A = this chain, B = another copy of it.
Amino acid sequence: MTQTLTKSEATSARIIAAAKRLFVASNYADVTTDMIAKAADVTKGGLYHHFPSKERLYVSMMLDDLERKRLLFERSTTSRGSCRDRLVQLTRDFLELPHEERELTRLVRRDINAFSGRERDRLVRAYQRALPEQVETIISQGIRNGELAPGDARILSWSFVALVEVVIGDYADHVYGSAQARLGHVVDLFFDGAAALPTGGTQ
């Protein structure tokens, strides 16, 4: 039943897959509907039979990706290890994704200015919440069980995500070793800080 994709569904999926490849490699404006159609082995007419506009195709592609990631990260969010272990696990899951899937996460921030109005808001809100909210769940529990210092879980989550995005980004590759090594550094920094000594003293 889930097995039997109708012909229509299969074509839609093929178009979305092609769009992912192309939108990751270039930017919204430079990817033409002809290119997507050709890469998906349909014509432009066929593409427009399945999607009403380029913009809606982009949004469909993003929401599709979002749902996949939500499922992927659910394991880390609901598991029972320490806060630290679970954050490492979640980040490692992300790191192990193929390059294209990782890049998709950054697409919204990159292409967001190509959109406007309702569609834009929908996309931003959905995507900004995807990763940060799952991280926040983990961090809130870390605070509650005393593993993390009391504080605002939300800003901590955003900080953690910011650090991870630096680790993940390709532009960091030529700056500092492997992504795995950087992951270790970033997690250490997040938990223990950069100061030389446990500040001790007046506290």
Q: Which residues of A contact B (CB under 8 A)?
A: 26-30, 109-111, 113-114, 124, 128, 146-149, 151-152, 154-156, 158-159, 161-163, 165-166, 171-172, 175-176, 182, 185-186, 189-196, 198-200, 203
Number of identical monomers bound together in the oligomeric complex: 2
Complexed CA–CA distance, A196 and B147 (Å) = 6
Known: A29-B27, A113-B30, A171-B128. A176 touches B194 (CB 8 A): no
The 3 closest A-B pairs by CB, nearest first: A198-B198, A193-B193, A29-B29
19 A-B pairs in the complex with CB atoms less than 8 angstroms apart: A27-B111, A27-B113, A27-B114, A29-B29, A29-B30, A29-B114, A110-B113, A147-B196, A148-B195, A149-B195, A149-B196, A152-B185, A155-B176, A155-B182, A155-B186, A158-B175, A159-B166, A159-B189, A191-B194
Besides the known contacts A152-B176, A152-B185, A162-B162, 5 further A-B residue pairs in the complex with CB atoms under 8 A apart: A29-B114, A30-B113, A158-B166, A158-B172, A162-B165
Mostly helix, strand, loop or mixed at chain A's interface?
A: helix
A124 neighbours in B (Cβ, 8 Å): 171
Contact of A185 among B155, B162, B166, B189 (CB under 8 A): B155
Q: Would A193 and B190 be within 8 Å (CB), given that A110-B110, A162-B165, A176-B154 are in contact?
A: yes
Chain B residues, Cβ within 8 Å of A149: 194-196
Of all chain B residues, the one with the shortest Cβ separation from A203 is B198
